[in-house]
Protein backbone atom coordinates (compact mmCIF):
# COMPACT_ATOMS: atom_id res chain seq x y z
CA UNK A 1 0.00 0.00 0.00
CA UNK A 2 1.18 3.57 -0.68
CA UNK A 3 1.45 5.79 2.37
CA UNK A 4 0.82 9.51 2.05
CA UNK A 5 2.75 11.33 4.79
CA UNK A 6 1.66 14.91 5.48
CA UNK A 7 4.62 17.20 6.08
CA UNK A 8 3.64 20.53 4.52
CA UNK A 9 2.39 22.34 7.63
CA UNK A 10 3.86 25.56 8.97
CA UNK A 11 4.15 24.36 12.57
CA UNK A 12 2.94 27.67 14.00
CA UNK A 13 2.39 26.26 17.50
CA UNK A 14 5.93 24.96 17.80
CA UNK A 15 7.52 28.33 17.01
CA UNK A 16 10.21 29.53 17.43
CA UNK A 17 11.68 26.07 16.72
CA UNK A 18 10.02 25.89 13.27
CA UNK A 19 11.35 29.30 12.25
CA UNK A 20 13.96 27.90 9.86
CA UNK A 21 13.66 24.14 10.39
CA UNK A 22 10.22 22.79 9.39
CA UNK A 23 8.52 20.89 12.23
CA UNK A 24 8.81 17.47 10.51
CA UNK A 25 12.60 17.98 10.41
CA UNK A 26 13.05 18.83 14.10
CA UNK A 27 15.32 16.33 15.85
CA UNK A 28 13.86 13.33 17.63
CA UNK A 29 16.70 11.06 18.79
CA UNK A 30 18.88 10.21 15.79
CA UNK A 31 16.58 11.38 12.97
CA UNK A 32 13.98 14.00 12.08
CA UNK A 33 10.47 13.70 13.52
CA UNK A 34 8.88 12.72 10.17
CA UNK A 35 11.45 9.94 9.65
CA UNK A 36 9.84 8.13 12.60
CA UNK A 37 6.43 8.37 10.89
CA UNK A 38 7.91 7.09 7.63
CA UNK A 39 9.72 4.31 9.50
CA UNK A 40 6.39 3.19 10.98
CA UNK A 41 4.85 3.12 7.47
CA UNK A 42 7.79 1.17 6.02
CA UNK A 43 7.85 -1.27 8.95
CA UNK A 44 4.13 -1.83 8.33
CA UNK A 45 4.88 -2.77 4.70
CA UNK A 46 4.32 0.46 2.72
CA UNK A 47 5.70 -0.03 -0.81
CA UNK A 48 5.91 3.69 -1.61
CA UNK A 49 5.95 6.88 0.44
CA UNK A 50 4.25 9.93 -1.00
CA UNK A 51 5.55 12.86 1.00
CA UNK A 52 3.45 16.03 0.90
CA UNK A 53 5.73 19.01 1.39
CA UNK A 54 5.16 22.77 1.39
CA UNK A 55 6.65 24.91 4.14
CA UNK A 56 10.48 24.78 3.86
CA UNK A 57 9.96 21.94 1.35
CA UNK A 58 13.57 21.71 0.17
CA UNK A 59 14.89 20.67 3.58
CA UNK A 60 12.54 17.68 3.65
CA UNK A 61 13.19 16.77 0.01
CA UNK A 62 16.98 16.89 0.41
CA UNK A 63 16.95 14.64 3.47
CA UNK A 64 14.87 11.81 2.03
CA UNK A 65 15.76 11.99 -1.68
CA UNK A 66 14.21 9.52 -4.17
CA UNK A 67 14.48 6.48 -1.88
CA UNK A 68 14.51 5.92 1.87
CA UNK A 69 15.41 2.55 3.42
CA UNK A 70 15.05 0.98 -0.03
CA UNK A 71 11.48 2.27 -0.49
CA UNK A 72 10.72 4.81 -3.26
CA UNK A 73 9.73 8.27 -2.07
CA UNK A 74 7.78 10.62 -4.33
CA UNK A 75 6.86 14.21 -3.55
CA UNK A 76 3.71 16.28 -3.90
CA UNK A 77 3.91 20.00 -3.26
CA UNK A 78 1.05 21.69 -1.45
CA UNK A 79 1.42 25.34 -2.40
CA UNK A 80 -0.85 26.79 0.28
CA UNK A 81 -1.38 25.07 3.65
CA UNK A 82 -5.15 24.85 3.25
CA UNK A 83 -5.71 21.79 5.42
CA UNK A 84 -5.07 18.07 5.65
CA UNK A 85 -7.62 17.02 2.97
CA UNK A 86 -6.13 19.61 0.63
CA UNK A 87 -2.69 18.12 1.37
CA UNK A 88 -3.84 14.60 0.44
CA UNK A 89 -5.56 16.01 -2.64
CA UNK A 90 -2.21 17.48 -3.70
CA UNK A 91 -0.88 13.89 -3.71
CA UNK A 92 -3.89 12.48 -5.59
CA UNK A 93 -2.06 11.97 -8.90
CA UNK A 94 0.43 9.68 -7.18
CA UNK A 95 -2.32 7.36 -5.96
CA UNK A 96 -3.80 4.18 -7.38
CA UNK A 97 -5.53 1.55 -5.25
CA UNK A 98 -6.08 1.82 -1.51
CA UNK A 99 -3.80 4.24 0.33
CA UNK A 100 -2.82 5.19 3.85
CA UNK A 101 -2.55 8.72 5.23
CA UNK A 102 -0.31 9.50 8.22
CA UNK A 103 0.44 12.82 9.92
CA UNK A 104 4.14 13.57 9.54
CA UNK A 105 4.29 15.01 13.05
CA UNK A 106 2.82 12.02 14.87
CA UNK A 107 4.60 9.09 16.53
CA UNK A 108 2.70 5.82 16.28
CA UNK A 109 3.41 2.37 17.59
CA UNK A 110 4.48 0.55 14.41
CA UNK A 111 2.54 -2.66 15.16
CA UNK A 112 -0.73 -0.74 15.01
CA UNK A 113 0.16 0.78 11.63
CA UNK A 114 0.66 -2.75 10.24
CA UNK A 115 -2.81 -3.60 11.56
CA UNK A 116 -4.20 -0.41 10.01
CA UNK A 117 -2.91 -1.47 6.58
CA UNK A 118 -4.28 -5.01 6.98
CA UNK A 119 -7.74 -3.88 8.06
CA UNK A 120 -8.22 -1.19 5.38
CA UNK A 121 -10.60 0.71 5.44
CA UNK A 122 -9.52 1.57 8.94
CA UNK A 123 -8.66 4.45 11.26
CA UNK A 124 -6.31 4.56 14.25
CA UNK A 125 -7.63 5.63 17.62
CA UNK A 126 -6.13 6.12 21.04
CA UNK A 127 -8.08 5.63 24.26
CA UNK A 128 -7.97 8.82 26.33
CA UNK A 129 -9.50 9.70 29.72
CA UNK A 130 -10.99 12.98 28.54
CA UNK A 131 -11.72 12.99 24.79
CA UNK A 132 -13.44 16.41 24.72
CA UNK A 133 -10.48 18.10 23.03
CA UNK A 134 -10.14 15.56 20.23
CA UNK A 135 -11.96 14.25 17.19
CA UNK A 136 -13.91 11.38 18.75
CA UNK A 137 -15.00 8.19 16.97
CA UNK A 138 -18.38 6.63 17.59
CA UNK A 139 -18.74 2.91 17.00
CA UNK A 140 -21.45 0.45 16.07
CA UNK A 141 -20.38 -3.11 16.85
CA UNK A 142 -16.94 -3.59 15.28
CA UNK A 143 -17.18 -0.60 12.93
CA UNK A 144 -16.71 3.13 13.20
CA UNK A 145 -20.07 4.85 12.74
CA UNK A 146 -19.01 8.50 12.87
CA UNK A 147 -16.53 11.14 13.93
CA UNK A 148 -17.31 14.29 15.88
CA UNK A 149 -14.89 17.15 16.63
CA UNK A 150 -14.36 18.20 20.25
CA UNK A 151 -17.74 16.98 21.53
CA UNK A 152 -19.07 18.23 24.88
CA UNK A 153 -20.55 14.77 25.40
CA UNK A 154 -18.14 12.25 23.78
CA UNK A 155 -19.76 9.04 22.46
CA UNK A 156 -16.63 6.96 23.27
CA UNK A 157 -13.15 7.57 24.66
CA UNK A 158 -11.60 6.78 21.26
CA UNK A 159 -9.68 9.83 20.02
CA UNK A 160 -8.79 10.04 16.33
CA UNK A 161 -5.03 9.51 16.04
CA UNK A 162 -4.52 10.88 12.52
CA UNK A 163 -3.73 7.60 10.71
CA UNK A 164 -6.08 6.28 8.04
CA UNK A 165 -6.22 3.45 5.50
CA UNK A 166 -8.62 4.49 2.75
CA UNK A 167 -10.13 2.50 -0.10
CA UNK A 168 -9.35 3.69 -3.63
CA UNK A 169 -12.83 5.28 -3.86
CA UNK A 170 -11.77 7.91 -1.30
CA UNK A 171 -9.74 9.66 -4.01
CA UNK A 172 -13.05 10.95 -5.36
CA UNK A 173 -13.96 12.49 -2.00
CA UNK A 174 -10.83 14.52 -1.27
CA UNK A 175 -12.37 17.85 -2.24
CA UNK A 176 -14.29 18.79 0.89
CA UNK A 177 -15.68 22.21 1.85
CA UNK A 178 -13.88 24.44 4.35
CA UNK A 179 -14.51 23.62 7.99
CA UNK A 180 -15.43 26.18 10.66
CA UNK A 181 -11.72 26.86 11.24
CA UNK A 182 -11.25 27.59 7.52
CA UNK A 183 -9.39 24.42 6.50
CA UNK A 184 -10.18 21.45 4.26
CA UNK A 185 -10.01 18.62 6.78
CA UNK A 186 -9.20 14.96 6.25
CA UNK A 187 -11.79 14.06 8.91
CA UNK A 188 -14.50 15.19 6.46
CA UNK A 189 -13.11 12.69 3.95
CA UNK A 190 -13.16 10.05 6.69
CA UNK A 191 -16.83 10.89 7.39
CA UNK A 192 -17.74 10.00 3.77
CA UNK A 193 -15.68 6.79 3.90
CA UNK A 194 -17.52 5.84 7.10
CA UNK A 195 -20.88 6.41 5.32
CA UNK A 196 -19.92 4.22 2.37
CA UNK A 197 -17.72 1.48 3.87
CA UNK A 198 -17.24 -0.61 6.99
CA UNK A 199 -14.36 1.16 8.71
CA UNK A 200 -12.44 -0.68 11.46
CA UNK A 201 -11.04 1.13 14.48
CA UNK A 202 -7.44 0.15 15.26
CA UNK A 203 -6.42 1.02 18.80
CA UNK A 204 -2.90 2.30 19.32
CA UNK A 205 -1.07 1.41 22.52
CA UNK A 206 1.04 4.57 22.28
CA UNK A 207 0.75 7.76 20.26
CA UNK A 208 2.09 11.28 20.37
CA UNK A 209 1.03 14.31 18.35
CA UNK A 210 3.90 16.77 18.28
CA UNK A 211 2.30 20.19 18.04
CA UNK A 212 3.99 22.28 20.75
CA UNK A 213 7.58 22.53 22.00
CA UNK A 214 7.18 20.37 25.11
CA UNK A 215 5.74 17.61 22.90
CA UNK A 216 9.08 17.60 21.07
CA UNK A 217 10.65 16.86 24.45
CA UNK A 218 8.13 14.06 24.99
CA UNK A 219 8.92 12.66 21.52
CA UNK A 220 12.59 12.57 22.48
CA UNK A 221 11.78 10.98 25.84
CA UNK A 222 9.99 8.20 23.90
CA UNK A 223 12.50 7.59 21.12
CA UNK A 224 15.61 7.97 23.33
CA UNK A 225 14.18 5.43 25.79
CA UNK A 226 14.18 2.71 23.11
CA UNK A 227 17.83 3.18 22.10
CA UNK A 228 20.27 0.49 23.19
CA UNK A 229 23.64 1.29 24.70
CA UNK A 230 26.33 1.74 22.06
CA UNK A 231 29.66 3.46 22.62
CA UNK A 232 31.45 4.23 19.35
CA UNK A 233 32.91 7.68 20.03
CA UNK A 234 36.01 8.82 21.86
CA UNK A 235 35.21 8.30 25.56
CA UNK A 236 37.74 9.09 28.32
CA UNK A 237 38.55 6.27 30.73
CA UNK A 238 37.64 8.73 33.47
CA UNK A 239 34.05 9.19 32.27
CA UNK A 240 31.11 7.22 33.72
CA UNK A 241 28.31 6.25 31.38
CA UNK A 242 25.31 4.62 33.06
CA UNK A 243 22.34 2.94 31.36
CA UNK A 244 21.31 3.33 27.75
CA UNK A 245 23.80 5.84 26.45
CA UNK A 246 24.68 6.07 22.77
CA UNK A 247 27.90 7.86 21.81
CA UNK A 248 28.16 8.04 18.04
CA UNK A 249 31.45 7.80 16.16
CA UNK A 250 33.13 11.21 16.11
CA UNK A 251 31.63 12.33 19.45
CA UNK A 252 33.98 13.15 22.35
CA UNK A 253 33.38 12.53 26.05
CA UNK A 254 36.12 14.13 28.19
CA UNK A 255 37.41 13.12 31.67
CA UNK A 256 35.16 13.47 34.69
CA UNK A 257 31.91 13.36 32.71
CA UNK A 258 28.94 11.47 34.13
CA UNK A 259 26.07 10.51 31.80
CA UNK A 260 22.91 8.84 33.11
CA UNK A 261 20.92 7.50 30.15
CA UNK A 262 18.89 7.52 28.16
CA UNK A 263 21.12 9.90 26.26
CA UNK A 264 22.32 10.22 22.70
CA UNK A 265 25.56 12.06 21.98
CA UNK A 266 25.73 12.53 18.24
CA UNK A 267 28.69 12.71 15.91
CA UNK A 268 30.85 15.82 16.33
CA UNK A 269 29.38 16.65 19.77
CA UNK A 270 31.65 17.27 22.78
CA UNK A 271 30.82 16.81 26.46
CA UNK A 272 33.02 17.92 29.37
CA UNK A 273 35.34 17.83 31.09
CA UNK A 274 33.45 17.23 34.35
CA UNK A 275 29.96 17.68 32.91
CA UNK A 276 26.79 15.90 34.02
CA UNK A 277 24.19 14.80 31.45
CA UNK A 278 20.96 13.23 32.65
CA UNK A 279 18.32 11.55 30.49
CA UNK A 280 16.41 11.79 28.43
CA UNK A 281 18.81 14.06 26.60
CA UNK A 282 19.79 14.54 22.98
CA UNK A 283 23.08 16.30 22.24
CA UNK A 284 22.83 16.70 18.47
CA UNK A 285 25.62 16.88 15.91
CA UNK A 286 28.32 19.42 16.74
CA UNK A 287 26.69 20.52 20.02
CA UNK A 288 28.84 21.20 23.11
CA UNK A 289 28.38 20.85 26.86
CA UNK A 290 31.25 22.61 28.63
CA UNK A 291 33.19 22.11 31.87
CA UNK A 292 31.04 21.54 34.94
CA UNK A 293 27.80 22.14 33.08
CA UNK A 294 24.68 20.04 33.75
CA UNK A 295 22.05 19.17 31.16
CA UNK A 296 18.95 17.23 32.09
CA UNK A 297 16.01 15.99 29.98
CA UNK A 298 16.71 18.40 27.15
CA UNK A 299 17.32 18.71 23.44
CA UNK A 300 20.43 20.55 22.26
CA UNK A 301 20.04 20.99 18.52
CA UNK A 302 22.89 21.00 16.06
CA UNK A 303 25.86 23.18 17.08
CA UNK A 304 24.18 24.48 20.25
CA UNK A 305 26.57 25.18 23.11
CA UNK A 306 26.08 25.18 26.88
CA UNK A 307 29.16 26.84 28.37
CA UNK A 308 30.92 26.02 31.63
CA UNK A 309 29.12 26.23 34.98
CA UNK A 310 25.64 26.33 33.39
CA UNK A 311 22.47 24.34 34.10
CA UNK A 312 19.83 23.44 31.52
CA UNK A 313 16.80 21.32 32.45
CA UNK A 314 13.67 20.25 30.52
CA UNK A 315 14.48 22.64 27.70
CA UNK A 316 14.81 22.75 23.93
CA UNK A 317 17.68 24.73 22.45
CA UNK A 318 17.63 25.44 18.70
CA UNK A 319 20.58 25.38 16.34
CA UNK A 320 23.68 27.47 17.16
CA UNK A 321 22.28 28.62 20.51
CA UNK A 322 25.07 29.73 22.83
CA UNK A 323 24.43 29.89 26.55
CA UNK A 324 27.12 32.00 28.21
CA UNK A 325 29.04 30.67 31.23
CA UNK A 326 26.95 30.39 34.37
CA UNK A 327 23.59 30.58 32.56
CA UNK A 328 20.98 28.91 34.74
CA UNK A 329 17.60 27.67 33.59
CA UNK A 330 14.88 27.37 36.23
CA UNK A 331 12.47 24.53 35.48
CA UNK A 332 10.22 24.42 38.56
CA UNK A 333 7.90 26.93 40.25
CA UNK A 334 7.87 27.49 44.00
CA UNK A 335 4.14 26.73 44.07
CA UNK A 336 4.65 23.49 42.11
CA UNK A 337 2.01 24.58 39.55
CA UNK A 338 2.25 23.37 35.96
CA UNK A 339 4.55 25.57 33.88
CA UNK A 340 2.85 27.77 31.27
CA UNK A 341 4.18 28.64 27.82
CA UNK A 342 3.10 31.09 25.12
CA UNK A 343 1.58 29.39 22.07
CA UNK A 344 0.36 31.70 19.28
CA UNK A 345 0.22 34.62 21.71
CA UNK A 346 -1.70 32.82 24.47
CA UNK A 347 -0.37 31.45 27.75
CA UNK A 348 -1.26 27.76 27.95
CA UNK A 349 -0.43 25.10 30.49
CA UNK A 350 2.21 22.60 29.43
CA UNK A 351 0.77 20.20 31.98
CA UNK A 352 4.36 19.74 33.17
CA UNK A 353 5.60 20.41 36.68
CA UNK A 354 9.06 20.77 35.21
CA UNK A 355 9.71 22.75 32.08
CA UNK A 356 12.56 25.11 31.29
CA UNK A 357 13.04 27.27 28.23
CA UNK A 358 12.63 27.09 24.47
CA UNK A 359 15.34 29.00 22.62
CA UNK A 360 15.15 29.61 18.87
CA UNK A 361 18.18 29.29 16.61
CA UNK A 362 21.13 31.62 17.34
CA UNK A 363 19.96 32.77 20.77
CA UNK A 364 22.92 34.02 22.87
CA UNK A 365 22.84 34.57 26.61
CA UNK A 366 25.29 36.71 28.59
CA UNK A 367 27.24 35.13 31.45
CA UNK A 368 25.27 34.42 34.62
CA UNK A 369 21.90 34.88 32.95
CA UNK A 370 18.96 33.48 34.94
CA UNK A 371 16.13 32.18 32.77
CA UNK A 372 12.72 31.49 34.28
CA UNK A 373 10.46 28.47 33.61
CA UNK A 374 8.38 28.54 30.42
CA UNK A 375 10.48 31.27 28.80
CA UNK A 376 10.46 31.60 25.01
CA UNK A 377 13.42 33.24 23.31
CA UNK A 378 13.01 34.14 19.62
CA UNK A 379 15.69 33.29 17.07
CA UNK A 380 18.69 35.59 17.54
CA UNK A 381 17.51 37.00 20.91
CA UNK A 382 20.20 37.96 23.42
CA UNK A 383 20.39 38.54 27.18
CA UNK A 384 22.80 40.73 29.14
CA UNK A 385 25.37 39.42 31.61
CA UNK A 386 23.78 38.83 35.01
CA UNK A 387 20.26 39.43 33.72
CA UNK A 388 17.16 37.68 35.08
CA UNK A 389 14.81 37.08 32.16
CA UNK A 390 11.19 36.37 33.01
CA UNK A 391 9.40 37.64 29.91
CA UNK A 392 9.53 36.18 26.40
CA UNK A 393 11.70 38.09 23.96
Report the nearest approach of ligand TTP to the CB of residue 186 (Å): 8
CB of 300 to ligand TTP, least distance (A): 23
Which is nearer to ligand TTP, 78 or 160 (by Cβ)? 78
Residue 10 or 267: the one with the smaller Cβ distance to ligand TTP is 10
Q: Decide whether 79 or 384 has the Cβ nearer to ligand TTP.
A: 79
Site for ligand TTP in 350-389 (CB under 6 A): none
Closest CB to ligand TTP among residues 87, 367: 87
Contact at 8 Å (CB) between 15 and 59? no
Residue from 2, 16, 21, 23 touching ligand TTP (CB under 6 A): that is 23
* CA 173 centroid distance within chain: 29
Assess 103 for contact with ligand TTP (CB under 6 A).
yes
Instruction: Tell whether residue 59 is a contact of ligand TTP (CB under 6 A).
Output: no
Select the span of 84-92, 114-122, 130-138, 378-386 touching ligand TTP (CB under 6 A).
Answer: 84-92
Stretch that binds ligand TTP, among 11-19, 131-139, 254-262, 358-366 (CB under 6 A): 11-19
Q: According to CB under 6 A, which one of 30, 71, 82, 92 is a site residue for ligand TTP? A: 82
Closest separation between CB of residue 176 and ligand TTP, Å? Answer: 13
Cβ-based neighbour number of residue 274 at 10 Å: 17
Active site (catalytic) residues: 308
Nearest distance in Å: CB 54, ligand TTP: 6
Residue of 56, 86, 188, 248 interacting with ligand TTP (CB under 6 A) = 86
Contacts of 70 (CB under 8 A, 6+ apart): none
94 touches ligand TTP by CB under 6 A:
no
Q: Applying CB under 6 A, does 81 fall inside the site for ligand TTP?
A: yes
Q: How far is the CB of 265 from ligand TTP (least distance, A)?
A: 29
User: Residue 71 class from Cβ within 10 Å (0-12 exposed, 13-18 middle, 19+ buried)?
Assistant: middle
Q: Does 104 bind ligand TTP (CB under 6 A)?
A: yes
Smallest distance from ligand TTP to CB 376, Å? 14
Shortest Å distance, C-beta 108 to ligand TTP: 12
Q: Rounded to the nearest whole angstrom, what is the least distance from the CB of residue 131 to ligand TTP in the complex?
A: 18
Contact window for ligand TTP (CB under 6 A) among 101-109, 151-159, 353-361, 367-375: 101-109
Q: Does 52 bind ligand TTP (CB under 6 A)?
A: yes
For ligand TTP, which stretch binds (CB under 6 A), given 8-16, 135-143, 165-173, 333-341? Answer: 8-16
What string of H, E and C letters represents the secondary structure of the chain?
A: CEEEEEECCCCHHHCCCCCCCCHHHCEECCEEHHHHHHHHHHHCCCCEEEEEEECEHHHHHHHHCCEECCEEEEEEECCCCCCHHHHHHHCHHHCCCCEEEEECCEEECHHHHHHHHHCCCEEEEEECCCHHHCEEEEEECCEEEEEEECCCCCCCCEEEEEEEEECHHHHHHCCCCCCCCCCCCHHHHHHHHHHHCCCEEEECCCEEECCCHHHHHHHHHHHHHCCCCEECCEECCCCEEECCEEECCCCEECCCCEEECCEEECCCCEECCCCEEECCEEECCCCEECCCCEEECCEECCCCEECCCCEEECCEECCCCEECCCCEECCCCCCCCCCEEEECCEEEECCCCCCCEEECCCCEECCCCEECCCEEECCCCECCCCCEECCCC
Kindly report the number of other CB atoms within 10 A of residue 65's CB atom.
Answer: 8
Binding marks (x or -) toward ligand TTP, 158..197, rule CB under 6 A? -------------------------x--------------
# binding residues, ligand TTP (CB under 6 A): 23
Pairing type for strands 135-140 and 143-149 reads antiparallel
* Interface contacts to ligand TTP, rule CB under 6 A: 6-14, 23, 52, 78, 81-84, 86-87, 103-105, 183, 211
Amino acid sequence: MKAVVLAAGQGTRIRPLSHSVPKPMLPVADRPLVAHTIDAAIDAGADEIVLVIGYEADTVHEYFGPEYRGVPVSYAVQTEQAGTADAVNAASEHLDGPFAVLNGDNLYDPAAIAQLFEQCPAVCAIEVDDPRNYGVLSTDGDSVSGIVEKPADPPTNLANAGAYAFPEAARKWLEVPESDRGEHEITDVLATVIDEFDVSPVTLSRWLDVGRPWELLEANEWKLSVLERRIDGDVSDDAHLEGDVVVEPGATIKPGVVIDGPALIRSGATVGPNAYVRGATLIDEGAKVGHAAEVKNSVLSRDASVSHLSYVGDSVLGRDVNLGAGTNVANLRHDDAAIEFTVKGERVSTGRRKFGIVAGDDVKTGINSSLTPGLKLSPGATTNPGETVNRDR
